[in-house]
Amino acid sequence: MTTSFFQTGFRPFFLLAALGGTLGPPLWMLVFGGGMHLASPLPPLVWHIHEMLFAVIGAVIAGFLLTAVQSWTGRRTISGTPLAAMVLAWISGRILLLLPIAAPIAALPDLLWLGGTAVAIGIPIFQTRNQRNYAFPLIVMALAALHVITLMWPAAAIAGSRVVLDLICVVMVVITGRIIPMFTRNSLPSLVVGSWPTFDRLALGGTVLLTAGDLGFAVFGRSDLGDLASGGLCLATGSAILVRSIPWKGPSTLSQPLVAILHLGHTWIGVGMLLLGLSYLGAPLSTSTGVHALTVGAMATLCLGMMARVALGHTGRTLGIGKGMIAAFAAIAAAAGVRVATAGMNGGTLPLTLAAVLFGAAFLIYLIQYSAILFRPRVDGRPG
């Protein structure tokens, strides 16, 4: 079983992401509510943001890319002892960020597994001249650099975290544009699923421009004109993201939960962009509303959906789920709804606690349902 576990990147990294998603929100609520003192080198809010973006979402991205690159290039990425070392680095990073330790030491483990992921996917991508995917190792390397900035310069951590959020949005826009129409066609062959390439390009171009803009604002400072431009760009990008999904026929996939959850996650990307745009333009909305639509709504939903589907497909199992994972999907949808609806409101800790419990429950169900699958060999006897 252990040999199988370290055979492909999705197995350990999806398990780690599920652990982080299960334990992270309740731990944050203890810190937020004053029931626990955080001895981290990071301020509490920065620690929370860092752990959600890097530890949970980052682990899913690493597991997905380490697996997908093998299909894209026909070459192995990383397995065995090197993969186990990256897992150990991830675990060490979580422990060190809970201790009163010097920032350079605390930064090292996450730098190792993020940098290791970039190298592991970059070698086969560049060796095979897989130009369509050149951006992915560069994005992961940029995430590694931003991780170091977060640890070494906490004063710049919030601005840096916005760039991390943008980069993950770029990854989501690219990947969802590739897989959701394909998965929809495969699951419902009678359904006519199309694409609108112009809106695909607008969605990606807008997300890239937002990333560049937030990077510039993080370095040079934000102005009123910057807020105005960012607001308009967010509204245009969010609209393009929602419009491009119209020919994907999302409402017709409700009978296929493994596909429907991906459509829902994609919808949250567009909604999050619209909410951010409105907040920049002066609407009575906290920017936290849009941020949590993108994080809890889009990222967590897409991560849970991809973790469920990829683990089944890459272990040779039938692409179907039972009531347990349907409950997990419902829990993450409810967590997103509660968190977005109450963001910026002065409603005490009850809504936050409810969202954290729902979020943690969703990933806990995944942990219970999929741990054995992640450890066991493929059921069809093939390697992977």
- Rounded to 5 degrees, what are φ and ψ at 69? -60, -30
What is the predicted pLDDT for the residue at 220?
A: 63
Provide the pLDDT for residue 2: 61
pLDDT value, residue 226: 67
Contact 305, 262 (CB under 8 A): yes
Least confident of 161-165, 218-222, 244-248, 314-318: 218-222
The proportion of the chain whose per-residue pLDDT surpasses 90, expressed as a percent, equals 79
Please give the residue that has the higher pLDDT: either 131 or 380: 131
Summary mean pLDDT of the chain: 92
**235-262 tens-digit pLDDT:** 999 999 999 999 999 999 999 999 999 9
User: Can you tell me the mean pLDDT for 258-276?
Assistant: 97
pLDDT at 223 over 50: no
Q: Which ranges of 128-252 does DSSP label H, i.e. alpha helix?
A: 135-152, 157-187, 197-220, 224-244
Mean pLDDT of all residues in 298-313: 97
Smallest CA-to-CA distance from 266 within 298, 240, 236 is with 298
Segment 162-178 shows an average pLDDT of 96
Q: What separation in angstroms does the CA of 13 have from each of 54, 59, 79, 221, 371? A: 12, 5, 12, 36, 12
pLDDT at residue 145 tops 50: yes
The yes-or-no verdict on residue 380 having pLDDT over 80 is yes
Eight-state DSSP code of residue 378: P
Q: Is the pLDDT of residue 30 over 80?
A: yes
Instruction: Region of 201 please: left (phi>0), alpha (psi -120 to 50) or beta.
Output: alpha
Tokens at 87, concatenated: 């897992």
pLDDT surpassing 50 at residue 318: yes
pLDDT of residue 292: 95
Identify which of 115, 130, 16 has the alpha carbon closest to the alpha carbon of residue 71: 130
At 229 the pLDDT is 84
For residue 73, give both structure tokens: 């290039």
**Highest-confidence segment of 95-99, 173-177, 346-350:** 173-177
Both tokens assigned to 269? 């990307």
| pLDDT digits 0-9 by tens, 81-136 | 999 999 999 999 999 999 999 888 999 999 999 999 999 999 999 999 999 999 99
pTM of the model: 0.94
Average pLDDT over every residue of 314-320: 92
User: How much is the pLDDT for 165?
Assistant: 95
Is residue 159 pLDDT above 90, yes or no?
Answer: no
Measured on CA atoms in the order 209, 214, 220, 222, is the torsion positive or negative?
Answer: positive
pLDDT score, position 1: 53
* pLDDT band at residue 225 using 50, 70 and 90 as cut-offs: very low
* The pLDDT value given to residue 365: 98
132: DSSP letter: G
Output the pLDDT for position 219. 64
CA dist list (Å): 169 to 42, 57, 144, 147, 225: 24, 11, 16, 17, 23
Give the per-residue pLDDT at 218.
63
Which is more confidently placed, 39 or 171?
A: 171
CATH code of domain 2-375: 1.20.210.10
Using alpha carbons, list the distances in angstroms from residue 248 to 31, 112, 245, 305: 42, 38, 5, 17
Kindly report the CA angle at 148 between 146 and 149, in degrees rounded to 5?
A: 60
Residue 34 region by backbone torsions, left for phi larger than 0, else alpha for psi between -120 and 50, else beta: left
**pLDDT of the residue at 153:** 82
Position 50 scores a pLDDT of 92
